[in-house]
Structure 1
Amino acid sequence: MEKQSTILTILIFLLFTGCSKTVDPGELEQYKIAFADGLSLNTVNLDGSELTEIYKLRGTPYNLEWSPDAGRLLTDIYNVDYFTLKPDGSDVREIDIPNFPAYGFGWLSQEELLFSRFDTVYTYHIHSESFQKGFLGRTPVVSPNGDKIALRRNENELFVMNRDGSNPEKIADDVSSRGLVWSPDGSDIAYISDYKLWKTNLENGTSQQLSPDSENIISIRGWSPDGSMIMTAVTGESHMYPPMIIRSDGAGYHKLSDDVTAPRWLPDSRSNRIVYISEEEKSLKIMNYDGSSTRSIADLKQPGFHLFTISPIPLPS
């Protein structure tokens, strides 16, 4: 039995080693990170240079996302007062949404936001500051090329449709609200059902459980840019939810340290690297997908809530 366990461990290691890609670290330093350190909104290069406070927040932010062209940032105060601004902190534009709450705020394009309120999806145009009521659904997620939207209807049914709400297609039942994630090429969508990670291919409709029966998946953190892995969070022994990385073909998985908080994939398909917050060391850090080659990007000096987002495209220093 011990011999079989050793062989299984070796096989899982070899499978994940095959996901690794060697890239000169200098080629990855062009990405920029925006992060909230207490009430301070900052930007920093991936190599830790050019750390700049761009905006002083009035309260705790719960959302922070770059626009697709990295020209603006979307954030909020207490998940209520939403606004956008340029990465240098200028041109702040408040979003006046009557009769909150709103859910699933995100970018539809560099000029449009997408969100849901109760059971209806809306779009918001940045420049005209106007709303457009769309279609039935909650927590919409836009496909990589922007032509499709995945969302939940009737509480827990997963639908995929065109971005204008036409041609809705039911994909799955009993889907959790804690994560819908598109594959980088838009051919598959990953979701949680009954605390297990599933994916469905949108071309042939086939579904596959990816996570082991022994683990309860709480949320999905993202699909690796090269399409080979999906990062999730699982139930832990404490109140923390340690990350677990699962092969997108279901062939293996491994867990990361409990100290890896709010991890995100670096959006570079040449390298499977992860940026995360270390609450123990109070710093923003980067590492390889297997937990190796960890280094610090910036210290987190303020108490309170911390979050960050990585520019979707490289930005010049």
Structure 2
Amino acid sequence: MEKNTPESYDALMVLSFGGPEGPDDVRPFLENVTRGRGIPPERLDDVAEHYLHFGGVSPINALNRAIIDAVRAEFAAHSIDLPIYFGNRNWHPMIEDTAAEMARDGVRNALVFATSAWGGYSGCRQYHEDIERAREAVGADAPKLTKLRQFYDHPLAVAAAADAIAAARTEISDDIRGEARVVFTAHSVPLRADAADGPTDLGGRLYSRQVTEACALVAEAAGVDDYDQVWQSRSGPPQMPWLEPDIVDHLDALSERGVPAVIVVPIGFVSDHLEVLWDLDTEARDRAAELGMAFARAATIGTDPRFAQLVRGLVQEMTDGIPAQRLGSLPMLGVDSDDGHAVQCCALPS
């Protein structure tokens, strides 16, 4: 694998999507998420009810703080002296405030770990936009912020997901365990946006191709010869085509085929945030129960001890120039050492 040229960095920012931490936060958070997208108020009301079902609290901030604690311990165990900061795109702590805090602390050249493993606009390019917006907000004193590469095919991520499948399989009763269907799921995006993601000379569809490759890698590691790949959490007007099939619709199709059990693997998500808790643990699980289908959901990889090791490895690719650890075959879309933007990465849809 090609090495990066080592460089001196003085901090790490963990950058994520953000989520409300109380009922009063829900509507302002959703307005941040959907600003400029023309989402009707009644749709926001529907989504707000999903959050209020869980007390108005998304678990994502708490899960990210747990990841940060684990990475701090991993850094300490390997004598890596980098303070870790936490920023979000859509809710507090906002990335602009975190970048300002870093500037006040004297940070000049920091790495950024975004809690998305993927390429594409929402999974990668938008985080570069977040970084640029934060630096502009801080002004001349803003630290340089370099986003770490995509990690969907990292060996530790693949191994953690494969072990999660094995653990979920034990939740299925012995008499039907061998008939349980493994179903990988990731966040859907509009077909037009997916077609425009990534370098056009490489065929676009960067995000969906990465998801497909990750599913194949994890299935192989888990010893799963046959599986399904589906999507979830679509939004927007019904006339706009998105990646399909939807997870709930797919459960109906499996039931018609007589499949007695399903193991759902949230391959597209690092943590159990609301789209896992609602779309999978509530809607999909409830539908499976209605169909008389046994349902087990594999854990997301963010709580696996190997996840902090993965973050450390990505950091050391930049600080020590160690080779990138990859299992996939898609073109490597990493960071450019001059401007911090990913090479050939995630062009905006035209």
Q: Which has the higher helix share?
A: 2
TM-score of the pair, normalised by structure 1: 0.27
Whose RCO is larger (CA < 8 A, sep 6+)? Answer: 2
* TM-score between both structures, scaled by the size of structure 2: 0.25
| Larger strand share, 1 or 2 | 1
